[in-house]
Amino acid sequence: MLTAKEIAKDIWWVGAIDWNERLFHGYTTEKGITYNAYLIMDEKVTLIDTAKAPFADELMARISQVVDPAKIDVVISNHVEMDHSGSLPVVAKACPNATFYASTKGCEGLKAHYGDIAEFHPLKTGDELSIGKRTLTFVETPMVHWPDNMVTYDATDQILFSNDAFGQHFASSKHFDVDNDMCEVMKQARKYYANIVLPYSPQAAKAAAVVKTLDLKMICPAHGIIWTEHIPDIVAAYDEFTSWNVVDKAAVIYDSMWKSTEKMAKAICEAFVEEDVQAQYINLNDTHESDILAYVMDAKYVCVGSPTLNMQMMPNVAKFLTYFRGLSPKPLNAKRVGLAFGSYGWAPKGPKDVAAVLEEIGMQMPVETLTHQWIPGQAYLDSIQETVREAIAKSL
Ligand code: FEO
């Protein structure tokens, strides 16, 4: 078993690594997940966050490598979601002398999840808790990523325990950014943001602004690696992520029955490339929607294609649009250009239904839906260039 790791003087990583987890409530985690928990050995021994329930034994074993769990005085739960609080019932039993803290909403949520395992004491932004040499300060960060979230700042060590914020689903035996492949870490930080935090960007921007006011040597999230030398990189990335700015790139996302819609998708993608717009051609059967979100998060042009199947769009397309709708808020969509397309046999219901969704979620729809009966020939495919050119020209 991995041992507890001292990440700063008297501060220990005691969390868990879920190497083979490949799905986190609907998003693929090809690099696994970590549930980071931290133990501060001060006059009051303090545990910050726990781990998902199946990892309670690992968590307790790592804590026990550093201190008898019965000696823990303070348990801080920065977030109710079960990937961080799932081991609290075990912790509560093993730490009979501990006082438990969470945000006000966190206290309510923890009681709703676990009943009376402990008395949870509420904290609000600006509250301080002395644990000996150190004083911990708390900042509520609602909706990053649930209403209860908060972060904990240790000014003595200049460490921010940020819970979900600045996290990545990335399992590694090396805890620090500098010891990992930063291209992969930043890629996973982007995917995490696109799939977890994107709708809550105004709230995340406030949390990121607070971070900029702090002296920081480390950001210790509850998922993934610890930020040290790359703090400026992740803070800059959050500036970009939270801005809801779009860039000049296109995603052409489709499903097809007999490759007619696929031909249209390819023509649309190539038309964007001809107009010098970066584009990706994405078959929904080959790429998971959570990977698509990581690309499409800041795409200006979102083109979605479906043929008509039983008088509606293809199920894969409906699944993507449902996922996308939840993660892409209207103020962001107002900056995007939508284009629906698809072939049909006797009724263009599939592409029209796609267009209705793109319009309903607030995208600019400057050109008519591209529909074609039966198999599109080369002349029709060539004409798509003009439609794409028009969509670009008419976009805001
Ligand atoms: Fe990592 Fe919102 O839980």
Q: CA–CA separation, 283 vs 320, rounded Å?
A: 11
Which residues does the annotation mark as catalytic?
Answer: 25, 79, 81, 83, 145, 164, 192, 223
Strand partners, 309: 312
- Cβ of 145 less than 6 Å from ligand 1: yes
Tell me which of 207 and 299 has the higher pLDDT: 299
Q: What is the number of helices (H) and of strands (E) in the chain?
A: 13, 21
The mean pLDDT value for 309-334 works out to 97
**Residue 128 clears pLDDT 80, i.e. is over it:** yes
Q: In what order do the strands lie in the sheet with 159-163?
A: 128-130, 135-140, 150-154, 159-163, 218-221
Closest protein CA for atom 1 of ligand 1: 164
Confidence category of residue 261, pLDDT binned at 50, 70, 90: very high
Position 1 scores a pLDDT of 75
Residues 6+ away with beta carbon under 8 Å from 217: 8, 157, 158, 159, 228
Q: CA–CA separation, 57 vs 66, rounded Å?
A: 15
Q: CA–CA separation, 117 vs 138, rounded Å?
A: 23
Q: How far is the CA of 109 from the centre of ligand 1 (A)?
A: 13
The mean pLDDT value for 144-155 works out to 96
Contact 278, 249 (CB under 8 A): yes
SS3 state of residue 363: coil
Position 329 scores a pLDDT of 96
Burial 225-246 (b: 16+ CB within 10 A, else e): bbbbebbeebbebbeebbebeb
Q: How far is the CA of 142 from the centre of ligand 1 (A)?
A: 12
**Residue 110 clears pLDDT 80, i.e. is over it:** yes
Position 52 scores a pLDDT of 98
Q: CA–CA separation, 33 vs 98, rounded Å?
A: 28
Q: Please state the atom number of ligand 1 nearest to the C-alpha of residue 146.
A: 2
Position 2 scores a pLDDT of 82
Q: How far is the CA of 311 from the centre of ligand 1 (A)?
A: 39
Q: Name which of 21, 104, 10 is nearest 55 in CA terms.
A: 21
The dihedral built from the CA positions of residue 44, 138, 100 and 175, taken in this order, carries a sign that is negative
Query: pLDDT tens digits for 160-189?
Result: 999 999 999 999 999 999 999 999 999 999
Q: Name which of 347, 273, 345 is nearest 303 in CA terms.
A: 273
| Cα 173 to chain centroid, rounded | 22
**Residue 130 clears pLDDT 90, i.e. is over it:** yes
Instruction: Please state the φ and ψ torsions of residue 338, each to the nearest 5 degrees.
Output: -100, 145
- Cβ of 83 less than 6 Å from ligand 1: yes
Other CB atoms closer than 10 Å to residue 396's CB: what's the count? Answer: 9
Q: Please state the atom number of ligand 1 nearest to the C-alpha of residue 164.
A: 1
| Cα 78 to chain centroid, rounded | 17
- Cβ of 353 less than 6 Å from ligand 1: no
Domains for the chain: give ranges and CATH numbers. 5-241 (3.60.15.10), 250-391 (3.40.50.360)
Q: Name which of 77, 51, 73 is nearest 62 in CA terms.
A: 51
User: DSSP for 161-218?
Assistant: EEETTT------S--BGGGS-HHHHHHHHHHHIIIIIGGGHHHHHHHHHHHHTS--SE
Position 168 scores a pLDDT of 98
Q: Please state the atom number of ligand 1 nearest to the C-alpha of residue 163.
A: 1
Contact 261, 342 (CB under 8 A): yes
Q: How far is the CA of 154 from the centre of ligand 1 (A)?
A: 21
**Residue 207 clears pLDDT 90, i.e. is over it:** no
Q: Name which of 163, 19, 166 is nearest 80 in CA terms.
A: 163
**Residue 69 clears pLDDT 80, i.e. is over it:** yes
Q: Please state the atom number of ligand 1 nearest to the C-alpha of residue 223.
A: 1
Write the single-letter amino acid at 306.
S
Q: CA–CA separation, 55 vs 171, rounded Å?
A: 14
Confidence category of residue 129, pLDDT binned at 50, 70, 90: very high
Q: How far is the CA of 164 from the centre of ligand 1 (A)?
A: 5
- Cβ of 52 less than 6 Å from ligand 1: no
Position 346 scores a pLDDT of 96
Mean pLDDT of the chain: 97
Instruction: Please state the φ and ψ torsions of residue 171, each to the nearest 5 degrees.
Output: -90, 125
Query: pLDDT tens digits for 227-239?
Result: 999 999 999 999 9
Contact 189, 182 (CB under 8 A): no
